[in-house]
C-alpha cells in the first residue's frame, strides 16, 4: 500500500532487543491497523515511521508516526476513544488494555500525527481492574500512568463510559460540573455490581492521588 501511494515506510527499532511476553497475533493486528491508517492518511511523498523503545524498566513503547495533514484535538479525542468512523482504533485500544497497557495519540494539524502504545513487558496477573472516566485525554493519561504499575486500567469518555461485560473493581471519574446526568447509567450499573465509584479532582493533584491508590492496591 505504501509503495503504491508513494509513501516512505521505515522502522526504528530500540537500540537493544527488548523481550516482551504478549499475544503475538493481537500485537500484529494492532500494528497492522496503525500502519495502514497512517499510510492512508499520508499523501504521496510523505513518510510513515514505526518505532519502539524502552519507556521504563517495566514498559516498552511503540509509536507509529505519519506526515499527514494532522487531526484536530476534538476529532482526535473521538477517534482514540473509538467513537470515530471504523473499528481500527477501537481495536487498538482494546488490545493495549488487554495487555495492561495504554493507547493514545498526539497530532497537530498540518504537521502529522503520532499514535502511541505503551505495554508492560509481561502480561498482568491478577490485578485490580480500574475504569478511568473523563473527556480530558491528558488527565486520563496522567492518572492511568500512575495506576498502571499496580492495576489493569482502561479508560472511556463520559458519554461512552459503561461497565459492559468486563469485570471492573473500581471506577475513577474526573469531577466536573454538569456531567451527572451523563453518568447516571454508569453509576446505577456500578451500584448494582457493587463497584465503587470515586470522583477525583481535575487538578494535577489527581495524579498524586492515583499514585497513592496504586500503592494501596499493590
Q: Summarize the confidence of residues 37-47 as an average pLDDT.
A: 95
pLDDT at residue 4, as a whole number: 95
Under 8 Å between Cβ of 111 and 141 = no
**How many whole angstroms separate alpha carbon 153 and alpha carbon 132?**
7
Reported as a single tens digit per residue, the pLDDT across 51-81 is 999 988 889 999 999 999 999 988 888 888 7
| Domains 2-120 and 129-217 are alike in CATH topology | no
Q: Are 152 and 129 in contact (CB under 8 A)?
A: yes
Cell matching residue 127? 490485578
C-beta of residue 49 within 8 angstroms of C-beta of residue 71:
no
CATH architecture classification, 2-120: 2-Layer Sandwich (3.30)
Q: Which helix (H) or strand (E) holds 2?
A: helix 2-5
Q: What would the DSSP string read from start to end of 91-151?
A: HHHHHHHHTT-EEEEEE-TTS-EEEEEEEESS---S--EEEEE-S-HHHHHHHHHHHTTTS
3-state secondary structure of 6: coil
Is the pLDDT confidence value at 83 over 70? Answer: yes
pTM of this structure: 0.61
Q: Does domain 129-217 have CATH number 3.60.21.10?
A: no
pLDDT at position 96 over 80: yes
Domains in the chain: boundaries: 2-120, 129-217
**Residue 210 reports pLDDT greater than 70:** no
The mean pLDDT value for 32-57 works out to 94
* pLDDT of 119 strictly over 70: yes
Please give the backbone phi and psi of residue 148, each rounded to the nearest 5 degrees, phi first. -60, -30
Question: Which tops the pLDDT comparison, 179 or 40?
Answer: 40
pLDDT at 8: 97
Amino acid at each position: 500500500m505504501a509503495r503504491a501511494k508513494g509513501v516512505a515506510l521505515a522502522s526504528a527499532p530500540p537500540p537493544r532487543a527488548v523481550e516482551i511476553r504478549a499475544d503475538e497475533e493481537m500485537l500484529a493486528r494492532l500494528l497492522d491497523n496503525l500502519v495502514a491508517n497512517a499510510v492512508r492518511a499520508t499523501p504521496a511523498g510523505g513518510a510513515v515511521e514505526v518505532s519502539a523503545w524502552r519507556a521504563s524498566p517495566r514498559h516498552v513503547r511503540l509509536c507509529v508516526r505519519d506526515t499527514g495533514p494532522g487531526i484536530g484535538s476534538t476529532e482526535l479525542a473521538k477517534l482514540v476513544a473509538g467513537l470515530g468512523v471504523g473499528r481500527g482504533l477501537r481495536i487498538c485500544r482494546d488490545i493495549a488494555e488487554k495487555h495492561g497497557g495504554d493507547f493514545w495519540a498526539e497530532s497537530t494539524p498540518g504537521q502529522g500525527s503520532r499514535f502511541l502504545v505503551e505495554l508492560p513487558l509481561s502480561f498482568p496477573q491478577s490485578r485490580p481492574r480500574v475504569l478511568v472516566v473523563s473527556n480530558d485525554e491528558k488527565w486520563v493519561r496522567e492518572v492511568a500512568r500512575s495506576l498502571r504499575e499496580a492495576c489493569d486500567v482502561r479508560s472511556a469518555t463520559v458519554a461512552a463510559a459503561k461497565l459492559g461485560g468486563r469485570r471492573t473493581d473500581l471506577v475513577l471519574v474526573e469531577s466536573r460540573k454538569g456531567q451527572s446526568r451523563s453518568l447516571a447509567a454508569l453509576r446505577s450499573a456500578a451500584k448494582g455490581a457493587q463497584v465503587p465509584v470515586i470522583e477525583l479532582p481535575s487538578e494535577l493533584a489527581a495524579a498524586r492521588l492515583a499514585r497513592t491508590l496504586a500503592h494501596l492496591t499493590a
